[in-house]
Amino acid sequence: MGQPPIITSLASQLGPLHKRHRAASQFPLRESVHLPLAQALELLEKQASFVLEGQLRSMETTALAGSSWLRGRYMPYRNQKPGFQKVPHDLGSTQNPRCRLCPSNDPLMEIHRGPFRIASNLFRYGESSLLLLPEPHLQQQGFANQAAVAIELMSSMGSAYTFFYNGLKGNSQEHLHIQALKETLPIRAALQQKALACSPLGEGTGTSWHLINPQGSLGESNPFYGIHLVSQKASELPDEVIWLMQQQDAWSGSLACYHLVFWFETTGTAHAVLMPRSQRSPCLGGSQLSSLAYAGMPMFVYPGDHPQHYSGEQVLGTLQAGLRIWSKAELMQVQQRML
């Protein structure tokens, strides 16, 4: 059985990655196909693996010494070229010429679902690396405005995906974007396997809250990693997540200073982890830590800068240096939410 026609036609035109945009300008292609979401995602992933696979050369994911749950990813061929996503003007955004994540005439396949597009991330984080992008243009710190729709879309993509988002600070792109990887990221695996110490904070209406503390006991002197929310239904999650984000915004005095990780079980149970950020942007191996690092998997992208050079303790310490520690009074306010 051959490849589905859309893949064959796109693949024959796109050629090697560095010629992608030139090829596209010679062969503009726009077709709309109505497909079930699962099938559309499969096509999107196949196209990305064909066009963008060069970035996966020598990719390795390894455990970090001394940690039961952290992983490091080595990706020396990951696209690092800052200008890469800056497409030529004639292929750029039709809505906002300065934004590279707004709709464009780029020939890569996209999935349109309500106010969101699902597109391949040109800066790969792994074998499957997608972006969820609202349209029209919305600022990165506007997650709360789209939380309900975004959570519904994420849950409809299925349990194989883990999603992550980071607030505006340190982002290269200002257009709201949620990352999706079709893999179980370390923080999810650790929470499923109870490899991270968690203290129950309480039960809301259908949602339970847990404080994650990889060092064991709680207290103002022990930095914690975040709050894990578990809802029996995805539809119950947005209100709780939005409330928590708003508290964090108020306490830190700035907007959207947090990392978020989401995943959804086949049973319908929905999970979110919120990690408040400090004003610091910690670096490891010369790279600023991405939001993937806060999902338990820092990326090492320079040749020779292999995760085996770092211990779990070193990585955890670096991660914690980038997190904002909530005071007991703030945590008590969180607990009041459940009463």
Q: Could you list the residues that contact Zn ion (CB under 5 A)?
A: 96, 99, 101-102, 137, 175
Least distance in Å: CB of 308 to Zn ion? 38
DSSP 311: B
DSSP 327: P
Cβ-Cβ contacts under 8 Å for 126 (sequence gap 6 or more): 56, 59, 73, 181, 182, 183
Nearest CA among 263, 298, 107, 72 for reference residue 180: 263
**Shorter beta-carbon distance to Zn ion: residue 174 or 330:** 174
**Shorter beta-carbon distance to Zn ion: residue 104 or 162:** 104
**Shorter beta-carbon distance to Zn ion: residue 63 or 99:** 99
Which residue's Cβ lies closest to Zn ion? 99
**Shorter beta-carbon distance to Zn ion: residue 135 or 330:** 135
Least distance in Å: CB of 100 to Zn ion? 8
Residue pointed to by tokens 């929310």: 229
Least distance in Å: CB of 108 to Zn ion? 16
Least distance in Å: CB of 146 to Zn ion? 13
What is the pairing mode between strands 162-166 and 258-264?
antiparallel
| Residue-level length of the chain | 339
Q: How far apart are the first and last CA of the chain?
A: 59
**Shorter beta-carbon distance to Zn ion: residue 73 or 137:** 137
**Shorter beta-carbon distance to Zn ion: residue 56 or 99:** 99
Least distance in Å: CB of 98 to Zn ion? 8
226-235 burial, b at 16+ Cβ within 10 Å, e below that, comes to bbbbbbeebe
Least distance in Å: CB of 142 to Zn ion? 11
Cβ-Cβ contacts under 8 Å for 73 (sequence gap 6 or more): 59, 60, 61, 125, 126, 292, 297, 298, 299, 300, 307
